[in-house]
Structure 1
Amino acid sequence: MKITLPPLNDTREYNRKTTDYGNGMIEIVAYHQPKETYIGERPPSSKNKPKLSDEEQEKRTRSQIHAIRRRIKGYALINDFEWFVTLTLDPQKVNSFNYDVSKTVLLKWCRSMRDKYGKFNYLLIPELHKSGAIHFHGLLGKIPNENFVQAVNPKTNIPVVRNGRQVYNLTDWKHGFSDCEKLENSEKASSYITKYITSALLTDKDMYGKKRYFNSQGLKKPKVSFSMEDNTKLNDFIPNFGIVGTDSDGKNYVDVGLYKLTTDRETGALIQKDTNYVIRAKNEYK
């Protein structure tokens, strides 16, 4: 069956992409040359897709890394997660070397937590240990505090403290070991979780065609908009990530600039608190 895509006039130009995380944090990507975005929904693609070679699959997967990280970051920033957790699987109880078995155990547990507490927000990422065993890192929403007990060193019986913060075990997780830390804020949550979206996870042959993360239904998503704007209004800010080109007169310009900004609660003005900057030449960014 031949699928006909909508005509080109169902697109519109934009030179600015704005992501509003709903908590005062705004991320702007400004483009020197306008780009196009599709308006509306495309029809479903054919299910009879040609099978990709391992090399083609790896290339395709690598191209998805930034998109997946942005999606994970959005979930982490805009939702009210309270705990960062690592959940391992006891090989005496679960075949933790089998991805599908490990995934089934995890999702069954998530459903039981939802049934138990009514609402259970989660965002979990599988990680392959060097041994080949699967474990999960992620963020959890509100769970009664009494379900967490202080983690203690089994040899010394001294409470486990990491970077000045108490580590806990989650009594609800009975499939192996749990390591839990209370989150300070959404930015910390985002920082913790996105580092586990690694090239190794995405390009491992055993992970082709498998989910790279698991999230509860109903999580809030950031608001994304596309528009044509006067990007010279961003000249007061430094791109937190920028690709700089050189025009025919030898003058530099920002070809693509990503700005991490915050809305001032009193004035509504955009301010820049993030002082981490990475600037690259356009001819070096391939």
Structure 2
Amino acid sequence: MNDSFINNIVKEYPSMYKLTVFKFPKARCSTASSKKGKDNRSQELDIVRSVRRSRMMVSDYILSNDFDMFVTFTFNPKKVNRYDLNACYFKMQSWLSRQQRKSENMMKYVIVPEKHKDGAIHFHAVMSNYPGLIKKTNVIQNNRRVYNLTSFRFGFTNMQYLDDDKQKVAAYVCKYITKDMVTVSNRRRYWASKNLKKPVKYYNEANNLFLNPDLHSLTFENQYLQMHEFEKLEQLFA
């Protein structure tokens, strides 16, 4: 096989494999196109690709790590101008930094911003090893108890414990990564702590890993590629 071309890419997660099969072999090294002189159509495509890459990275992190909390952060307008991107980003980053110091860098998180229709900024996160106090509330949402993180002094939090369906969690978080947020600001579309695991990636190794794609494993297809998912054998017999 010509190693200068990629026919398939396998990502290995703790409980599954994801296989991408290219219908036309893809060159390993491709020259990036210049950003100069791009028309509106090209810029729009770049944004779409950027959103897709961000969603893929967030999904990879969630599928490769164990998170136990989903948290929504809402800013108190009396304390933060929640329509000011810079102010919201700064407050969120400072809070995350303090929690990391308290946890001795053990806290794990992936967090994404959301811009509401009225322009207000919110953040949604999956987390684990949170070092602060958690306050139980009397609120039940979607048959789940709601809790508050008492250390967040810039507004309000809505925390719910996660179940074990990582793919469902990944899909839910990724829906907040939108094209609209990209065009609003040049800031990152997500933040992730530096202590997260990533999937192991293999090139042209589908056969050696005994991954046989068929209609049952197919999850997506277009004119360029197919995507397949396989549970690991130990998961099937667990």
TM-score by length of 1: 0.72
List runs of 5+ in structure 1 lacking aligned partners: 1-8, 152-158, 245-254, 269-286
Counterpart pick for 2:16 among 25, 36, 49: 25
SS at match of 1:86: strand
Equivalent residues in 2 for 1:29-178, closer than 5 Å: 29-38=20-29, 50=36, 56-118=42-104, 119-143=106-130, 147-151=133-137, 159-178=138-157
* More displaced 10-residue stretch of structure 1: 178-187 or 222-231: 222-231
Measured in 1, the distance between the counterparts of 2:155 and 2:161 equals: 20
In terms of Rg, which structure is larger? 1
Partners of 2:219 and 2:229 within 8 A in 1: yes
Measured in 2, the distance between the counterparts of 1:20 and 1:131 equals: 40
Equivalent residues in 2 for 1:127-276, closer than 5 Å: 127-143=114-130, 147-151=133-137, 159-185=138-164, 186-202=166-182, 204=183, 206-207=184-185, 209-227=186-204, 233-235=212-214, 237-243=216-222, 256-265=225-234
SS at match of 2:230: strand
Partners of 2:99 and 2:130 within 8 A in 1: no
- TM-aligned CA deviation for residue 183 of structure 1: 0.8
Identity rate, percent? 27
- TM-aligned CA deviation for residue 198 of structure 1: 2.0
Residue type of the alignment partner of 2:8 = R
Aligned length in residues: 231
Partners of 2:112 and 2:123 within 8 A in 1: yes
- TM-aligned CA deviation for residue 98 of structure 1: 1.3
Measured in 1, the distance between the counterparts of 2:139 and 2:188 equals: 32
Name the counterpart of 1:251.
none
Residue type of the alignment partner of 2:225 = V
SS at match of 2:234: coil
Tell me the C-alpha RMSD between the 2 structures: 2.9
SS at match of 1:257: strand
Name the counterpart of 1:272.
none
Measured in 2, the distance between the counterparts of 1:232 and 1:74 equals: 19
Partners of 1:84 and 1:192 within 8 A in 2: no
> Which structure is richer in relative contact order (CA contacts within 8 A, separation 6 or more)?
2
The superposition leaves residues 149-185 of structure 1 with CA deviations (integer Å, 9 ceiling, x where unpaired) of 123xxxxxxx211121111111111110100110112
Residue type of the alignment partner of 1:134 = I
Residue type of the alignment partner of 1:182 = Y
Partners of 1:17 and 1:226 within 8 A in 2: yes
Task: Sort the Cα spacing of 1:232 and 1:98 in 2 relative to 1 into closer, same or farther, 3 A.
Answer: closer
Measured in 1, the distance between the counterparts of 2:44 and 2:235 equals: 47
Counterpart pick for 1:14 among 3, 6, 24: 6
TM-score by length of 2: 0.85
Partners of 1:90 and 1:176 within 8 A in 2: yes
